[in-house]
Chain A
Amino acid sequence: MTPPPRPLTQVVLKVHSRCDLACDHCYVYEHADTGWRSRPRVIGDAVLARAAERIGEHAVAHGLTAVRVVLHGGEPLLAGPAVIRRAAELLRAALPEVCDLDLRVHTNGVRLDREYCELFDELGIRVGLSLDGDRAANDRHRRFADGRSSHPQVLRAVGLLREPRFRHLYAGLLCTVDVANDPLAVYRALAELEPPAVDFLLPHATWERPPRRPTGAGATPYADWLLAVHTRWEADGRPFAVRTFDSVHRTLSGLPGLSEALGLEPVDLVVLETDGTYEQADSLRTAYDGAPATGMDVFRHSLDDVARHPGTAARQSGLAGLNATCRACPVVRSCGGGLYAHRYRGGTFDHPSVYCADLRALIDGLAARAGGMRRPAPPVDVAGPALSDEQLDELAAGLGGPEAVRALARSQLALTRAMLAAVHGSSGLPRSAAWELLAELDAAEPAAVDTVLAHPYVRAWAARRLTGDPGAGLGTLAELAASAAVLAGRGDAVAVPVQDGALHLPALGRLVLGAGVREVRVTGGRTGWTAHADDGTLTGPGDPRWQPVRRIGLTGGRTLALEDVDPQRAAHRWPVADRLDDAEFAFWTRDVIDAADLLDHDLPEYAAGLWAGLSTVTPLRPRPDRHDVSSAARQAFGAVGIARPRTAPTLALLLAHEFQHVKLGAVLDRWELYDRTDTRLFEPFNLSPRPIGSLFQAVYAHLAVTAFWGTRARTDPSAQPRFTHWRALTDEAVDQLATSGALTPLGHRFATGARHSVDAWLRITA
């Protein structure tokens, strides 16, 4: 039997095949391939519908949890809003519920207006823009067919994306390098637009069509150009992510790269043209006419077929797929042979990149600036101390007393600390005052540091950073150091970059500063902290603009944080609520106190562990239909997200339900309970089809749900139907889990524990 191919998780969907600009460096219209001439201008509805079906079936077959689709062209906005809306709707409808759709559009910006921004906001489409720098740089290539500049239109488009209303849609800027442009002028022009991320693209070229190398510019003009930008970027404190640099920093420290153009990671991208044909990669257009073609289309071929295509496989073969020169090169793990298309010569791609000398100089230059970065890790268990057999048995039954949950929390703290170290180790920073302060406080004031690092969303940020999310900036490291300095109160100071107009102190709160302030020096003194902003103002916790994380006091001296300020709380798969006003906070306080009392009284066997591990409730936005919504984020141990429900008992149920996910997630961080490669789907609890991991989570959460209704049914007859309903479904789902054939020995132990818990409820009512 043929093994399944590596899944394709990124699709470039061409919704229009023509462009309203005539950029002379465009690979679509100006290079070797001429396939665009014969294609429909706009993607048709039949192609769109079939493409969505293909993507959906691929997601189901491979159990994908996320798919990225980039609407592209030509110029995608030429397709018009109706086509874009239709594409978004078809794609969302075709994907299984458990698979996130990361939908983006990449545009030249000329037609991006307020109406499009409204549409993208409604459909959740993020926007990338092409811009080559200042006007002189941009005008060098990016002009209309009649020679007019496109620069003013692009600036207007970026201006829209920078408005607070649309800022969340602003994905970043793509800049094609031209060494004739002044690198610092280009950098400054891009930086002024405050992009969250910038990608510098080497102009597509091959050995047969080599890149321009101006006389007197040296042997490595592209590396020199990028290193000049890097110097300024570092001096400015890295105000935005630069994928080219981040990718090299990561690969130098052993992490995967972030781009097909750098690193050895297998590609997982396919291009879908307006006529429904699949192509391998746009960049191949630069090699020869027909180079990207696969001979396949959405009507006759699945994405698995494309994934098995020799051209796709060639770009997935890592080190083994490179020529001997590259395989022997000391920087091959960072370079990866460069972009596949750039290796073309004499009918094959079995050569180093035409940019080989530049890539080597760039990587060596960045490595030298970063200092030593790699050192073998000793065999420490980064997951911290192990749990006892008794504690695992408690957790397997769906419960887990305070000691078991505290052991999970210690393990989580150890994981967060390791992630933080990996973040710093892969940052490419030769020195970091924030990191050095954090490390010093870790030695001198461990309680202060542990308090900050136990904040649920610290790990959420670190995980985003490690998985290459350009939105997870290194500024958070300074925020963590500042929070620790404030808690330590020794007089330590650290400079913290302002993010979205606020100074964020994780676990403590935020100081809203507004536009104009870029950096704040935070000092943690014995009698409180101060914040010196770079506009000269001095403030502190007495400032009315300071919004502390508020805590709700419960009986027995327990407290629960209501987190409504940390930007990292967006880890939940549902929009978070903005800062609560006093009235709403009072409602939350009342309901949380009532829910806590109810849990203590009705569900003590679950509540004991819950209070040992639940530190934070993050208010979510209510659903438009007012149905309950709640969330546990795998990367945020100790937190649950909830839109405040109508009643305190419902809040209690949601707390218990979500904390089950929190516990199981922490177990899964240390141990495998099931075969993660199993792609079969299950339909527990009348839910949509979902993979084994979701079945496991659903069973675990519903053990608490069954107990909740079973306990209430003892005193409230109206709870009886819900008890019997959830008990029956849980009983059935436990069987599904136990007989799935996908469990590890420990997974079987958990399934057996769940069976015992459900059987106890079955016996009691019998």
Chain B
Amino acid sequence: MEQTVDQGAVPVRGGSCGTEDRPALADLARLDAGELAGRLELALAGAGVRPVSPFDSAI
């Protein structure tokens, strides 16, 4: 997995002007999406749609 990790930033126009209470979208987007989603687990638990659809022969 490590070989797909890029420690560099995703290039975005403009710069970051986030604060501790309001991290900039550009900064948030550099974070690991899986870890972000993990921290959102309480908020996503009520989404109603399960995250995995392991069905190999239909949509």
Residue numbers of A with Cβ under 8 A of B are 9-10, 12, 27, 65-66, 68, 70, 72, 100, 104, 106, 128, 171-174, 197-199, 201, 243, 250, 252-261, 263, 265-269, 281-283, 330-333, 339, 367, 371-378, 380, 382-385, 410, 414-415, 417-426, 431, 435-440, 442-444, 446, 449, 463-464, 466-470, 634-635, 665, 668-672, 676
Contact = CB atoms under 8 A, between A and B. Distances in A.
Contacts of B4: 252, 330-331, 367, 372-374
Nearest to A442: B25
B37 A466 contact: yes
A257 B51 CA distance: 8
Given A422-B36, A442-B26, A463-B43, 5 more contacts: A374-B6, A375-B6, A421-B29, A440-B13, A469-B49
Interface string B12-46: 11111110111111101111111111111011111
A283 B10 contact: no
Contact of A339 (B25, B30, B35, B56): B56
Instruction: Using C-beta atoms within 8 Å of the partner chain, give the interface range for chain B.
Output: 35 or more
Given A260-B55, A439-B24, A418 B34 contact: no
The winner among B18, B32, B34 for most chain A CB atoms within 10 A is B34
A668 B21 contact: no
Contacts of A66: 48-50
A98 to B, nearest CB: 11
Given A333-B1, A384-B21, A665-B46, A265 B57 contact: no
A598 to B, nearest CB: 30
28 contacts: A10-B53, A66-B48, A66-B50, A104-B58, A173-B59, A199-B59, A254-B34, A255-B34, A259-B55, A332-B1, A371-B10, A372-B5, A372-B10, A373-B4, A376-B32, A382-B40, A384-B21, A419-B43, A425-B36, A436-B13, A437-B13, A439-B24, A440-B13, A442-B26, A468-B52, A635-B47, A669-B43, A670-B43
List 9 tightest A-B contacts by C-beta distance, closest first.
A372-B6, A254-B34, A260-B54, A425-B33, A421-B28, A106-B58, A634-B46, A440-B14, A172-B59
Contacts of A414: 21-22
A259 B44 contact: no
Given A253-B34, A418-B36, A440 B56 contact: no
A197 B1 CA distance: 28
A268 B18 CA distance: 41
A376 B35 contact: yes
Contacts of A243: 53, 59
Contacts of B36: 377, 382, 418-419, 421-422, 425
Contacts of B59: 104, 106, 128, 171-174, 197-199, 243, 470
Contacts of A12: 55, 57-58
Contacts of B22: 384, 414, 417, 446
Given A439-B13, A467-B49, A665-B46, A425 B31 contact: yes
B12 to A, nearest CB: 5
Given A10-B53, A418-B39, A380 B1 contact: no
B48 A174 contact: no
Contacts of B16: 443
Contacts of B39: 377, 382, 418
Contacts of B15: 443
A377 B55 contact: no
Contacts of A467: 44, 47, 49-51
A431 B26 contact: no
Contacts of A424: 29, 33
B54 A442 contact: no
A467 B33 CA distance: 12
B22 to A, nearest CB: 7
A367 B2 CA distance: 12
A261 B37 CA distance: 22
A375 B46 contact: no
| A interface: dominant SS | mixed
Contacts of A374: 1, 4-6, 32, 34
A255 B51 CA distance: 9
Given A66-B49, A375-B30, A174 B57 contact: yes
Contacts of A470: 59
Contacts of A267: 54
Contact of A256 (B26, B48, B51): B51
B35 to A, nearest CB: 4
A330 B24 contact: no
Contacts of B21: 384-385, 410, 414
A59 to B, nearest CB: 13
A384 B21 CA distance: 6
A463 B15 CA distance: 27
B1 A439 contact: no
Nearest to A668: B42
A609 B51 CA distance: 34
Given A128-B59, A199-B59, A439-B24, A268 B33 contact: no
A266 B25 CA distance: 32
The winner among A9, A197, A372, A378 for most chain B CB atoms within 10 A is A372
Contacts of B29: 421, 424-425, 435, 439
Contacts of B46: 634-635, 665, 668
A422 B44 CA distance: 12
Nearest to B3: A330
Contact of A268 (B12, B47, B52): B52
Given A431-B11, A437-B13, A257 B52 contact: yes
B14 A439 contact: yes
A264 B49 CA distance: 18
A423 B53 CA distance: 18
A463 B45 CA distance: 10
A174 B59 CA distance: 7
B40 A422 contact: yes
A444 B33 CA distance: 24
Contacts of B42: 668-672
Given A258-B52, A333-B1, A282 B57 contact: yes
